[in-house]
Amino acid sequence: DILMTQSPSTLSASVGDRVTITCRASQSVSRQLAWFQQKPGKAPRLLISRASRLQSGVPSRFSGSGSETEFTLTISSLQPDDFATYYCQQYSDYSRAFGQGTKVEVK
């Protein structure tokens, strides 16, 4: 099975900061990579699919890049509503594995 590893596990940042989260796959997933945002007690929300395709309604400050085994999620200017946990997920193979999550917290 493909293993997904995110870094960092926790990120402390302030409103207005540029934030970057990395996701690495143990083998190539092409561009079959999605990013989710989750707030406490809520369902995951799909932000980005196909590594860089922004879902409808997602603010343009979110962007994704990468291919094969290395991917990034960038928030260009962190807003109060963005403090949450972010997960990557590969959907290239049957296991459809998720990363362990990156918590973005207030600095």
Partner 1 sequence: EVQLVESGGGLVQPGGSLRLSCAASGFAFSNYGMSWVRQTPGKGLEWVASISGTDATSYYADSVRGRFTISRDNSKNTLYLQLNSLTAEDAAVYYCAKGDCENDCYLCDYWGQGALVSVSS
E strand segments, 1-107: 4-7, 10-13, 19-25, 33-38, 45-49, 53-54, 62-67, 70-75, 85-90, 102-106
Applying CB under 8 A, among 31, 45, 61, 103 the residue interacting with partner 1 is 45
Give CA–CA dist 46/62, Å, rounded.
12
Residue 31 within binding range of partner 1, rule CB under 8 A:
no
Q: Which is nearer to partner 1, 41 or 80 (CB)?
A: 41
Tell me the C-alpha distance between 84 and 102, whole Å. 8
Least CB distance from residue 40 to partner 1, whole Å?
A: 12
Residue closer to partner 1 (CB basis): 65 or 101: 101
43 token code pair: 């369902």
- Choose between 75 and 86: whose C-beta lies nearer to partner 1: 86
27 in contact with partner 1 (CB under 8 A) = no
Query: For residues 54-73, which are near partner 1 according to CB under 8 A?
Result: 55
Cross-strand bridge partners of residue 48 = 35, 54
The count of chain residues that interact with partner 1, using the rule CB under 8 A, is: 22
Rounded Cα distance between 89 and 98, Å, is: 4
The residues that touch partner 1, with contacts defined as CB under 8 A, are: 32, 34, 42-46, 49, 55, 87, 89, 91-101
